[in-house]
Chain A
Amino acid sequence: MGNNLKRRDFLKLAGLGGAVFASGLAGWPGAAAAQAGIAHDDFFFVQLSDSHWGFEGAAINPDAHGTLQKAVAAVNSLAQQPDFVVFTGDLTHTTDNPVERRRRLSEFKDITAQLKVKTLHFLPGEHDAALDNGKAYREFFGDTHYTFDHQGLHFIVLDNVSDPAAKLGDAQLAWLAADLESQPADARIVVFAHRPLFDLYPQWDWATTDGARAVALLMPHANVTVFYGHIHQENHQMTGHIAHHAAQSLIFPLPAPGSQAKRTPLPWDTTQPYHGLGFREVETRRRDLPDLITELPVNGA
């Protein structure tokens, strides 16, 4: 991506007004990658999360049947298209009916196929996968945990939802350990997960039962950043040198951790439709420039 300033200027001029978080991806570019002679360029990707396709609740979101499409349109309207889009789980709202679950997954896939960007990475949330251990999800989107590489960065997609007890599990943790062993200590590593890997607020189930084991495996690597969903709001926390960034939802916002007695969705604000909903751009830049996370509203307003 060669013209970031113009792209950001477009966002500003278009009134999209995204909040910018300026300590996103750490350590870019990795010295090992530079030594390996990999040709880096700036790039950005988009994170969407928690669309809960199939949710019904007019007091929470009277446009539940249209918000995901608005997000797709908003991404398609970006002046420059991202290198890829990642969906960090809860693509669909849970249902006890396996037929309905597949219908929702199918509709979600059809809607997101309208994105101009064709490189899409998915991972499940507990709403998609916890009731059948990810069986229906895999029929539509394939593996629930995997890796890929892009522009010298190593991306790891974790599944902390297919086990209804919110565990990564011994097998996946062994897989993660083996993958990390293949990476140099200063590799640029980006992790995608649905739930937070640390105990953000276990009282509201905002945790991963064995997430600390994953964080311990990641800790020897100097440049690790985690992006996740689940909590339906922007949140930024550190575990040691590892940054964890939670994304907004595309269906309803949830209250700040522990800010009220119950984890109930925030009601629709008729004076600010779509308030609290959105997606984010994550922009990597070269050398000593800070990387940027830009939060954007779902309706482009």
Chain B
Amino acid sequence: MEINHQRRQFLAGTTLAGLGVAAATVTGLALAQQPADRIIKITSKRFEFTPNRIDLKKNQPVVFELTALDVTMGFNAPDFHVRADMVPGTVSRIRFTPDKAGEFTFLCDIFCGSGHEDMSGTIVVT
């Protein structure tokens, strides 16, 4: 689930190593033109996510960079089976590709206090 750009470049390089020079040039150009995954930074603090609405495009991969500003939270988007702990002082990264359009709930799934049950947001995929 977790993205690593270096790993992708390594894999691309490994593939190129097995090909002829001409093919490598074409493939290399294609890779160079491929846009990097969109990165969306999401923070949490009791009892809200920022942003609490995330607009995505179907079949376009994104990377969520998650961090908590106060206490440990959980980011969970059950419809995409995407979840990670949000820990103060660290950044959790989740890469995923929304494969369906619509509006989907994400929520905090670690009980964090008196406003926990209102702590949710919406992923909108078009």
Contacts and interface: CB of A to CB of B under 8 A. Distances in A.
Interface of A: 94-96, 126, 130-131, 161, 164-166, 199, 202-205, 209, 261-263
Contact of A95 (B109, B114, B117, B120): B114
A205 B120 CA distance: 10
B54 interface: no
B79 A205 contact: no
A261 B121 CA distance: 10
Interface residues of B, number: 16
Interface string B73-110: 01010110000000000000000000000001101011
5 contacts: A94-B113, A131-B113, A203-B79, A209-B109, A263-B117
B98 to A, nearest CB: 15
Contact of A262 (B76, B79, B104, B120): B120
Nearest to A94: B114
B109 to A, nearest CB: 6
Which secondary structure dominates chain A's binding surface? loop
Given A94-B113, A166-B109, A166-B111, A202 B120 contact: no
Identify whether the interface residues of B are mostly helix, strand, loop, or mixed.
Answer: mixed
B111 A126 contact: yes
Nearest to A202: B78
Contacts of B78: 199, 202-203
A164 B120 contact: no
A272 B79 CA distance: 36
Interface string B52-84: 000000000000000000000010101100000
B110 A164 contact: yes
Contact of A205 (B107, B113, B114): B107
Nearest to B112: A164
A130 B76 contact: no
Contacts of B109: 165-166, 202, 205, 209
Given A94-B113, A164-B110, 17 more contacts: A96-B113, A96-B114, A126-B111, A131-B111, A131-B113, A164-B111, A165-B109, A165-B110, A165-B111, A166-B111, A199-B78, A203-B79, A203-B105, A204-B105, A205-B109, A261-B105, A263-B117
A123 B35 CA distance: 53
B70 to A, nearest CB: 12
Nearest to A93: B114
